[in-house]
Amino acid sequence: MKKEGTIKISSENMMPIIKKWLYSDKDIFLREIVANGVDAITKYKKLVSMGEAQEDAGGYNVKITVDKKAKTLTVEDNGLGMTAEEVENYITQIAFSGASDFLEKYEKAGGDGIIGHFGLGFYSVYMVSENVEIFTKSYKDEPAVHWESDGNSTYSIEECEKPDRGTRIVMHIAPEEKEFLDENNIKKLVDKYCSFMPYDIYVNFKGDGKDKPLNSTTPLYTKNPKDCTDEEYKKFYTDTFMDYNESIFWVHLNMDYPFKVKGILYFPKVKNKLELERGKVKLYCNQVFIADNIKEVIPEFLMLLNGVIDCPDIPLNVSRSFLQNDSQVQKISKHITKKVADKLISLFKTDRQKFEDSWGDIANFIKFGCIKDNDFYEKIKDVIIYKDINGKFITVSELIKGDKPQSADGGNAEGESDGESSQSKPDGAQEGEQKENPAPKTVYYVSDEDQQAQYIKMFKDEGLNAILCDNFIDPHFLSFLEYKTPEHVKFMRIDSDIDAALKTGEESDDEVLKDIFKNAIQNDSVVIKCEKLKNDKTPAVILVDEYMRRYTEMGQFYGMSDGGLNKTLILNTACPIIQKIKQLEPDKQNFTARYVYSLALAAFKKLTPEELEKFNADNLTLLEYFIK
């Protein structure tokens, strides 16, 4: 007997809203319908394991059929199926807390992907369909059922002929949604949303023995890490992310208590060292794709990685507000962070050479992670490393303590001089003596090895050390480290100060010499000082206050000019050239002083076009002088 009725919702406007706003991406309907089929199979297998149903000898699968001529898209499973009563309960009564509640939340959300929270997965079909039919037969000994609705709040339900157990959903695709009648498009959607679902999924199954499922029912992350090989990890990475550059290493998550989390996170090679490239972390629920890069589950800094994470404890359809406030989700997020930190620490301790070799690719990720997540910093702080000007790696902890860099095999780096500066003991400290309140330690760094070559040579000549901080994130990270260890360390760029170890300690002030340079330079923003340096080959160097320069660079980052950044010109009175300037005729004094300043300026920074023009003119004057 044919029966007719009305879908039980309290508003006539309900179905149009569902059809238009159920999800922000309409193509997600395929995920919903296939996932429903997978759930039906899983439930049936559970009944089999309980002895309440018979095992299906033919196997379990979901078949998708695209019929361009009939303008239908069909999804069929061989799960437990439904009785007429179950169709009435699960299909004709939309599962949510009430139509008025739904409408209220719809208005507040502005229609932007508002449902994933209301259990309306089946009705996603109306985003692309003008009419939908369901043919279903329960595993119970009851007649098969045919249900149909055009999405306008009415439906029909009657008995039908269907020999096999399971559910077939036939979507009559709307004219404006014909893209969903393209077999290749459907295959792409299966790859996007269903690639790891636990039962075989076929598109346009032919039954000739040549059909191959489009998904992997046992993805690598579901296996025990000890059963996975390096080659399998590499293949899984390539197949999942279509990235043919090998990842550096990976973290396999495999936890069953107190919550379930499985997955693999890959550290990709850096493609562009000037910027942090966003990776793609795919979130799944029981092998059903939810979304990419959900920051409520995956910490923001981990989104620089590539990977897959499967959290069965997170509902398939869930609101962001739920995720933000759910304590279980927060625990999962913290666990993922901990596992990544554990992997990095383990690699540092067991294979430091690989850790150092990988540092160029993982440094940005680690520094960004420390800035964004204090728990991550606390776990990882002892394995943060920097390369020094001698090509050796040293940890931040060693920098603060003043230890020598350790080689990858654990020994001190050979050939390292016991310089004072950042490697020296606090004033007055004797061997083995501990100070309760150590004086702040100055750690020098280099931001550009080529541009700061003169300063590096001076350091090396005196056995001093400095670290390389040549990445865009380093200025932020150094400030972060100073904030985290304010009583222990301050970072100074190598051209921001003259370390005491570079000076002879002798009095060197010379007002006459300073006046000569002041008249030659004609720049009131340049402060002129005299120092007697141990290196007598360098006539002058330019310094800029560290914190003033940082402030200026921050302004440049926000589009402000460097304005009048004051510089200090240090005249090296130990250099013969500087010593003889006072003996020259006034014109030669002026020329030589200007030329020395230009040399110091060129060693400090890239010359502006105006500065370069003056410098070239002086060079031409010198050439003419020698040619005469």
Give the domains, in start order, of the chain with CATH numbers: 3-203 (3.30.565.10), 220-350 (3.30.230.80), 384-427+438-497 (3.40.50.11260), 503-542+562-627 (1.20.120.790)
Q: What is the mean pLDDT of the chain?
A: 82
Listed residue (444, 239, 270, 262) closest to 361, CA to CA: 270
pLDDT at 257: 76
Query: In the prediction, which pLDDT does 326 show?
Result: 63
Choose the most confident range, by mean pLDDT, from 261-270, 513-522, 606-615: 513-522
Q: Residue 501: pLDDT above 60?
A: yes
pLDDT tens-digit map of 376-407 = 999 999 999 999 999 999 998 787 776 666 65
Q: What is the pLDDT of residues 160-188, one digit of tens each?
A: 999 999 999 999 999 999 999 999 999 99
What DSSP character marks residue 421? G
Give CA–CA dist 22/31, Å, rounded.
13
Q: Can you give the pLDDT at residue 39? A: 87
Q: Check whether 618 has a pLDDT greater than 90.
A: no
For residues 603-622, give the mean pLDDT. Answer: 87
- Report whether pLDDT(314) > 90: no
| DSSP for residue 602 | H
In the predicted model, is pLDDT for residue 95 greater than 90?
no
* Residue 406: predicted pLDDT: 64
Local confidence band at 469 (pLDDT 50, 70, 90 cut-offs): very high
Bridge partners for 406 per DSSP: 412
What pLDDT is attached to residue 435?
Answer: 45
Q: How confident is the model at residue 21 (pLDDT cuts 50, 70, 90)?
A: low
Look at residues 521, 508, 607 and name the one whose alpha carbon lies nearest to residue 568: 521
Q: Which residue has the higher pLDDT, 617 or 9?
A: 617
- Grade residue 117 by pLDDT with cuts at 50, 70 and 90: very low
Residue 556 confidence (pLDDT): 64
For residue 434, pLDDT over 60 is answered with: no
Q: What is the mean pLDDT of residues 101-129?
A: 56
Residues sharing a CB contact under 8 Å with residue 220, sequence separation 6 or more, in sequence order: 228, 232, 233, 236, 264
Q: What percent of the chain has pLDDT over 70?
A: 81
The alpha-helical segments, DSSP class H, found in 264-395 are 320-325, 327-350, 352-372, 374-380
Residue with tokens 């985003």: 127
Q: Are 285 and 315 in contact (CB under 8 A)?
A: yes
Please state the φ and ψ torsions of residue 296, each to the nearest 5 degrees: -70, -25
φ, ψ for residue 268, nearest 5 deg: -80, 160
Judging by beta carbons within 10 Å of its beta carbon (0-12, 13-18, 19+), is residue 535 exposed, middle or buried? middle
pLDDT at 322: 55
Bigger pLDDT: 122 or 595?
A: 595
Amino acid in position 612: L
CA–CA distance, 297 with 315 (Å, rounded to integer): 12
Res 414 pLDDT > 60 = no
The 10s digit of each residue's pLDDT in 80-94 is 999 999 998 888 775
Residue 444 has pLDDT above 50, yes or no: yes
On the question of pLDDT at 110 being above 70, the answer is no
> Contact at 8 Å (CB) between 184 and 42?
no
Residue 179's SS3 state is helix
> Which residues, 6+ apart, have CB-to-CB distance to 570 below 8 Å?
498, 529, 530, 531, 540, 541, 542, 543
Has residue 468 got a pLDDT over 90? yes
Residue 489 pairs in a beta bridge with 441
pLDDT digits (tens, 9 = 90+) for 522-556: 888 899 999 999 999 999 999 999 988 888 777 66
**pLDDT band per the 50, 70, 90 thresholds, residue 289:** confident
Q: What is the mean pLDDT of residues 47-59?
A: 87
* Band of residue 353 on the pLDDT scale cut at 50, 70, 90: very high
Give the per-residue pLDDT at 277.
Answer: 60
What is the pLDDT confidence band of residue 33, given thresholds at 50, 70 and 90? very high
Region 12-24 average pLDDT: 57
* Residue that is written with structure tokens 């800029």 in the block: 544
Query: Over the stretch 211-265, which tens digit does the pLDDT of each residue have?
Result: 999 999 999 999 999 999 999 999 999 999 888 888 888 999 998 877 888 999 9
Antiparallel, parallel or unpaired: β 393-395 and 154-160: unpaired
